Amino acid sequence: MKKIILLLVLTFTAFTSTFAQRFAFVDSDYILKHVPEYAAAQKQLTALSGQWQKEVDTRSQEIERLYKAYEADQVLLTADMKKRREAEISDKEKAVKEFQRQKFGPDGELSKKSTALIKPIQDRITKAIQEVAEGEDLDMIFDKNSEVIMLYANPRYDKSADVITKLGLKPGVFAR
């Protein structure tokens, strides 16, 4: 009887281990901190965004100045003059909104520049993750910084350092 139970346990163990899946996770923030091109891209995008925001602020201040001048002069203006000044202010407001849309909108220059700078880095990291997964015969790798919630992650399954090494960089420089 003991031999039959032992045989069943061994068979069940062998059966389940052949179908076992191997999982690991990476910390994308940690990986990105190690990629110098990413920091440079972020710095470039921040500078560009700041430059354009400064332009928006300058234009908005000009509109505010024109509006205050209009309010102060309103009693002295003819109806025709009022319409021209109102149209000028309105046109400038539309121009600022259009500028914001062109620069910061979903299809704006900032979005396009971000894609151009960040996509090659993402592609490189994705390729390194795939190579780590294939090299270690892993079935799935999760990003612990994404929408997937992990209630527990055993550190031995963290493959972030392996991905950094695969990218030709040195892990351990940045604290988590």
State residue 21's pLDDT score. 74
Which residues is 142 bridged to in the sheet?
25
Q: Percent of the chain beyond pLDDT 90?
A: 59
DSSP assignment letter at 141: E
pTM of the full structure: 0.72
The residue ranges of every structural domain in the chain are: 22-166
Higher pLDDT, 1 or 62: 62
Instruction: Give residue 60's identity as a one-letter amino acid code.
Output: S
State residue 73's pLDDT score. 93
Instruction: With H, G, I as helix, E, B as strand and everything else as coil, classify residue 23.
Output: strand
The yes-or-no verdict on residue 141 having pLDDT over 60 is yes
Q: pLDDT-derived band of residue 170, with 50, 70 and 90 as boundaries? A: confident
CB 46 within 8 A of CB 111: no
